[in-house]
Amino acid sequence: MLEKKVRKIRRHKRVRAKISGSAKLPRLCVFRSAKHIYAQLIDDTKGKTLFSANDMKLKGKKTDSAKELGKQIAKIAIDNKIEKVVFDRAGYQYHGRVKAVAEGAREGGLKF
């Protein structure tokens, strides 16, 4: 199990070396646990989380609630005049719930 965590950390470092968020172009970071999924808009220049959302109050299948989470975070961003973001998959495969968050955010109006 330790080797699996180490590989995920290495992948995340590799992704983070290439992307960074700012106030105008924040980083949309996704965290996936066994039961829930979380999304944050992060300004890396200040080291601050601008907005966050999770799927704890959403009902249904995990992928469906992940897509709704993407729509929620997109609505929050657009209400605060943020239209473009950089997507950070945080070392996870772009597959399943992580992909559903990205698709939901795109449907909500975010560009990345």
Q: Is residue 14 part of a domain?
A: no
Structural domain boundaries enclosing 103: 19-108
The pLDDT assigned to 22 comes to: 86
For Cα atoms 111, 23, 100, give the angle at the middle one, nearest 5 degrees.
35
Do the domain assignments include residue 8? no
Per-residue pLDDT of the chain (112 residues; tens, 9 = 90+): 789 999 999 999 998 898 888 888 999 999 999 999 999 999 999 999 999 999 999 999 999 999 999 999 999 999 999 999 999 999 999 999 999 999 999 999 999 8
CATH classification at residue 93:
3.30.420.100
Question: Does some domain include residue 3?
Answer: no
The conformational region for residue 96 under phi > 0 = left, psi -120 to 50 = alpha, else beta, is: left
59, 65 Cβ separation under 8 angstroms: yes
pTM here? 0.89
Question: Is position 13 within any domain?
Answer: no
d(CA 7, CA 77): 31
What is the tally of structural domains in the chain? 1
